[in-house]
């Protein structure tokens, strides 16, 4: 009886965790990306137009095939580069260079049933 109780608790916890992480995994593709440097919006780019540009001489941002990525960064950990190309989901962040890429124009998930 005790084992069934713990298995039920573990399964319920796993379902709750899955429901909270689903919005972070993606969703519909965004139409635009907003590029922030030091907390200031410096550029809004359409993900439908392929382009490449440098932000403050420390990051190279590439837009290709409806997705965006930091393809070069002047920072030691290279976490933002390792995130790869994205079209939705969580922000792409380069903390040492204070760069944030946020997705805009995507549909938000209001509730999960």
**Residue 25 is assigned to a structural domain of this protein:** no
The confidence score (pLDDT) of residue 6 equals: 79
**Residue 36 is assigned to a structural domain of this protein:** yes
CB contact at 8 A, 88 and 44? no
**% the chain with pLDDT above 90:** 54
**Residue 58 is assigned to a structural domain of this protein:** yes
Burial of 25 (0-12, 13-18, 19+ CB in 10 A): exposed
**Residue 20 is assigned to a structural domain of this protein:** no
Nearest to 97 by CA among 52, 46, 32, 42: 42
The confidence score (pLDDT) of residue 113 equals: 47
98: domain CATH number is 2.60.320.10
Q: pTM of the predicted model, to two decimals?
A: 0.68
**Residue 24 is assigned to a structural domain of this protein:** no
CB contact at 8 A, 99 and 93? yes
3-class SS of residue 8 = helix
**Residue 8 is assigned to a structural domain of this protein:** no
- Over residues 16-70, the pLDDT tens digits come to 766 666 555 555 778 999 999 999 999 999 999 999 999 988 999 999 999 999 9
Nearest to 42 by CA among 28, 69, 61: 61
Nearest to 93 by CA among 61, 52, 64, 63: 61
Domain containing 36: what range? 32-104
**Residue 52 is assigned to a structural domain of this protein:** yes
**Residue 66 is assigned to a structural domain of this protein:** yes
When divided into structural domains, the chain yields a total of 1
């Amino acid at each position: 009886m005790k084992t069934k109780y713990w298995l039920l608790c573990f399964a319920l916890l796993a379902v709750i965790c899955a429901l909270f992480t689903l919005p972070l995994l993606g969703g519909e593709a965004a139409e635009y990306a907003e590029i922030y440097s030091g907390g200031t919006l410096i550029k809004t780019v359409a993900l439908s137009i392929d382009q490449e540009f440098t932000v403050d001489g420390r990051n190279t941002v590439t837009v290709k095939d409806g997705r965006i990525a930091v393809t070069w960064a002047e920072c030691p950990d290279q976490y933002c580069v390792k995130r790869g190309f994205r079209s939705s989901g969580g922000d792409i962040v380069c903390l040492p260079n204070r760069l944030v890429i946020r997705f805009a124009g995507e549909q938000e998930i209001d509730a999960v049933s």
